[in-house]
Chains A and B, each alone.
Chain A
Amino acid sequence: MSDDFTRRAALAGALVAGVGGLALSSARELLESFAPLSGDAWAAADRTRPDRVESPYGDATVRYDDDGVPTVVADDEPAAYFAVGYVQAFDRLFQLDLQRRVMRGRLSEVVGDVAVADDEFHVAMDFVGAAEATWELVADTPAGPLVEAYADGVDAVIDAGSLPLEFELLGYEPRPWTPVDSMLMEKQISWDLTGNFAELRRSMVADRLGADVASELYPARMDHETPILRESLEAETIGGSGSDGEFGAPGVGASSTVEGVADGAVGGANDAGLEDDADATTAGESVGPALLSWLSRFESPPGTGSNSWVVSGGHTESGRPIVAYDPHLALMTPPLWYEQHVETPETSVRGATFPGVPFVIAGANDRGTWSFTNVGADVLDCYRYEIDDDGDRYRYDGQWREFETDEREIPVADGEDRTVTVRKTVHGPLLEREGRTVGVAWTGHTATRTTEAIYEFGRSDGLEDVLESTRTFDLPTQNLVYADADGRTLYYVTGKLPIRTIDGEVVSGDRIFDGSAGEGEWDGFTPFGESSWEGFVPFEEKPHAIDPHVLATANQRVVDDPDHYVGVSYATPYRGARIYDRLDAALEAGDPTDLAFHRDLQDDVVDGRAARLVPDLLDALEGASDDDRTDAAETLAAWEYRMDRDSRGALLFARWLHHFRRRVFEPAFGDAGLDKSYYPNDWVVATLPADSPFFDERTRAEAMVDALEDAVSEIDAEGWTTYGDWNSTRSIGHPLGVEAPFLDYPERPADGSRATVKNYRVESGVGASWRMVVEPGGDATAILPGGNSGDYFSPHYDDQLERWLENEQKLMDRTVEGDVDTTVVGDRS
């Protein structure tokens, strides 16, 4: 055999082995996806909006503006909402699919084992069951056919097969969209806003650290004077109408209808939940840290909240009211919200919605503008039961009852599928972890009519219409702020507020109820069925204000003395106080405000925590001889409490507060096996008195100085120079950002903190998920934290990010201009 033959054979062998190796190994999948020219992933780069789409619902047109916001025009609503489904799916299909997978407990099916715990929770909570019940109710309303048209519009994109890049990265194709999926989106956002197991945490702290400590660290009522409905404003703005219950007349307000029930409700909650109720104290431990830790993963993200305010036309240049709104929700890539504009003979509506929801949720039509912030209401109750040894039955109403059970499969990609047994009691789902159980009743676990209400908001013709529609807005509990083109203004708490009783006495909900004894039940509530308002606070008795001249919501306490228990999970008052301070100052100065004033207020970065704490810190540092301390003290002394991205003082303060909190609470909490998620809020930290037991071993001043040394050391070690070096947009991630970091938005330094009006929480990736300022019937501006498209290759993927950082809002007008980008052709004929 010649050398040449051997050489040829070797080369041939290498060639065959190379090709065979590639074809038969996992490299083949990579090449099929990402090889140049033929890679399937590159089809995503070729996605172009079609010139023409066929629709079974009639003709429509779609125009995109310079920011990628679609304007849908149609002669009837089904045709319009088919097109809305189409544009939402084209721009956000992966987001749609991912969200429903999360809520259905089908995430593991595409991402594998890592999501099993998440899926187990969502399956056990049976959000799908609640969405199905909701669809049964909504299907027969005027909104029902439009939801179906929307779903068909989404499916038109799926059927066309032109899928976004993420589907190729994960290697799957979406299933058809259904109306139930849209209802699931309502459940998801409602859960994100109101899903709260705070009473379990409070009980755990009481068990581990004592009821007194829990009472000090988790006050049922923070001692501040800026609720949403202020006494000082009552007389000026909502008091004295004397027209109780007459919505058309000015002046019917919660404050005027409230008669000092707080002592019996909120105060009682504190007593019963944390101090005197021995059963409640042991209840936290009965749930157990494993179950609580698991549940905490699925609660509202820390910092979820929002700002909104309204000033009447008497305080604006144009003479029309102005509403400003920025919801603080999870910041992500692409944004949580999608902006759309729909023109039909019935309405002209533009604003933001969640992908998967057909109708504008927060926005404006030709007659008014509306917005929602979170109330912080307690709409989730926890129950413990006497359960038999086999775990098949629970004690209730003096008898043993079988759990309602259902076996559900959780498919797992590249792993073993799981089976979850969904168990339900008369109150709702029963959740279990490591042998510990807790029953859950949540107002979202029933058929709800919010979809109908939102649809009606878009078609409303002024305040009276909106008030009527608000009656059907039963989920979630929100601070509705509205103004119309006639100059009317409105504040109303939406959603159902449960009324609980024990032995016939009304009690608050921040405790763990004995479900076997029938404690704290909600009359009229049918989990996974259709409920009534019986057993909930009547609409007229919910906090509200008609025609307030100025009103601001920032998730703070709604009212000092509510008629009915609302909740205890309110935000710290810093944002609310700052907004009211600036609005009051403008009004007192007699300067009429305009849109620019309100945008500037949205951009406010003054931190009330610093105003409270920094003087004390500087006192503690007085006489410091150490260079680092002296430099830090000088920097903080010259700082004006503004959380600007280029501020050194803001950096020092933010990191100092982190270390101060840790130094104060870590020793006791650590010994008790409680991690930092149990630490109290900033208001408690800032107001914790020097004689608190937490300062027994180290005085408050010493803790402050030590924390500053920690902060300076950390800043030096990390190489940070200004606040933006730490407070960046790095936490605004894409769900696949770990594996495909290019999908994340570019990292930029950011302003704001969790306590500033311009809200940004770098630790949790929460902040202003949408900003808008609207003069009903007039001008409007808005901005998204990123872009309107979720398509990585779209120019509108991140084209609003820089403007969002600067709060440079774009126009949110309702004109129909420009060439038609896509013609939706009806084939009904």
Chain B
Amino acid sequence: MSGEDERASDGAGEADVSDVADRDVGSGSDPVDGDGRASNAADGGASSAAERPGDSATVDDGRGTARLESRLAAVRTNPRVRRPAFALAAVVGLGLAWVHWLGLVCGGALVGLLSPSLRRGVVAALGFGVLVLVVFFLRIGPVALVIEMRPIVFVTVASAFALPALGALLRGVL
């Protein structure tokens, strides 16, 4: 539990880096109270976030969105659930990325949605990009040959990071 709390706190403590990231720390769990009190969400803010009457986004999105956010919040705050969910999201993302480049965006979105904050979602998406590249190089075989494939390989490496990171922006929406 302490690890999770630390990560949440870390995210909250990065308010000086990015306003978006700063406010987003609580956005999934507490969209109103976005000033860094992520620990509240970790302590049980999942249900309150879903039920908070003054939350315009929640009201506008209706019950479905509310339930989704509620479940996401539950996953985000429970490491025992989140870790396997992360793994599952990564596998699903890999599968999607295997068939289309938009799968990289989806993969980043999936791992991002499971992250406690937008900032951490982007970091997770970048981690997903690393995973994609590892699997890619394992699949291709002659790593040195691929690395020499400049400038083509620049597209490959850049898309492995940029597309998941783009997908992770969804974390700031949901």
Contact = CB atoms under 8 A, between A and B. Distances in A.
Interface stretch (B1-9, B81-89, B135-143): B135-143
Given A34-B159, A36-B160, A39-B156, A5 B104 contact: no
A11 to B, nearest CB: 4
B166 interface: yes
A34 B158 CA distance: 10
A37 B139 contact: yes
Nearest to A12: B173
Interface in B13-51: 20, 23-24, 27, 31-32, 34
Nearest to B151: A740
Contacts of A42: 136, 139-140
Contacts of B102: 19, 23
Interface in A1-43: 2-5, 7-8, 11-12, 14-15, 18-19, 22-23, 30-39, 41-42
Interface of A: 2-5, 7-8, 11-12, 14-15, 18-19, 22-23, 30-39, 41-42, 45-46, 169, 740-742, 792-793
B92 interface: no
Contacts of B32: 4
A39 B157 CA distance: 12
Contacts of A11: 20, 118, 169-170, 172-173
B148 A5 contact: no
B109 to A, nearest CB: 8
A36 B148 contact: no
Contacts of A35: 97, 101, 104, 155-156, 159-160, 163
A38 B140 contact: no
Nearest to A797: B145
- 6 smallest CB-CB distances across A and B, nearest first, come from A35-B101, A11-B172, A36-B136, A31-B101, A34-B155, A15-B169
A15 B162 CA distance: 12
Contact of A37 (B23, B31, B136, B166): B136
A4 B34 CA distance: 9
A741 B151 CA distance: 9
Contacts, number: 113
B20 A792 contact: no
Contacts of A742: 145, 148-150, 152
Contacts of B104: 35-36
Contacts of B24: 7
Interface centre among A22, A35, A41, A740 (most CB of B within 10 A): A35
A35 B136 CA distance: 10
Nearest to A746: B148
Nearest to B154: A34
B138 to A, nearest CB: 11
B78 interface: no
Contacts of B97: 35-38
A740 B145 CA distance: 13
B98 A37 contact: yes
Nearest to B135: A37
Given A8-B27, A37-B97, 7 more contacts: A2-B57, A7-B23, A15-B173, A34-B159, A36-B97, A37-B103, A37-B139
B151 to A, nearest CB: 8
A34 B23 contact: no
Contact of B101 (A32, A169, A792, A793): A32
Given A11-B20, A45-B146, A740 B152 contact: yes
Contact of B132 (A3, A31, A36, A41): A36
Contacts of B146: 45
A782 B102 CA distance: 49
A347 to B, nearest CB: 37
Contacts of B153: 34
The secondary structure that dominates the B interface is helix
7 contacts: A2-B57, A11-B173, A15-B170, A34-B153, A36-B104, A38-B99, A42-B139
Nearest to A19: B105
B145 A2 contact: no
A793 B98 contact: no
Contact of B100 (A7, A34, A38): A38
Given A31-B155, A793-B142, A8 B57 contact: yes
B94 interface: yes
Interface in B42-90: 56-57, 60
Contacts of A169: 152
B167 A45 contact: no
A46 B146 CA distance: 12
Nearest to B142: A793
Contacts of B136: 36-37, 42
B156 A7 contact: no
B133 interface: yes
A45 to B, nearest CB: 5
Interface in B97-119: 97-105, 118
A4 B135 CA distance: 37
Given A36-B160, A792-B145, A5 B56 contact: yes
Given A31-B101, A38-B100, A792-B145, A4 B152 contact: no
B104 to A, nearest CB: 7
B147 to A, nearest CB: 9
A112 B130 CA distance: 37
A38 B101 contact: yes
Nearest to B32: A4
A37 B94 contact: yes
A793 B141 CA distance: 9
A39 B145 CA distance: 16
Contact of A5 (B57, B150, B155): B57
Most buried by B among A5, A740, A742: A742
B19 to A, nearest CB: 9
A18 B98 CA distance: 20
A23 B166 CA distance: 13
B5 to A, nearest CB: 24
Contacts of A45: 140-142, 146
A792 to B, nearest CB: 7
Nearest to B152: A34
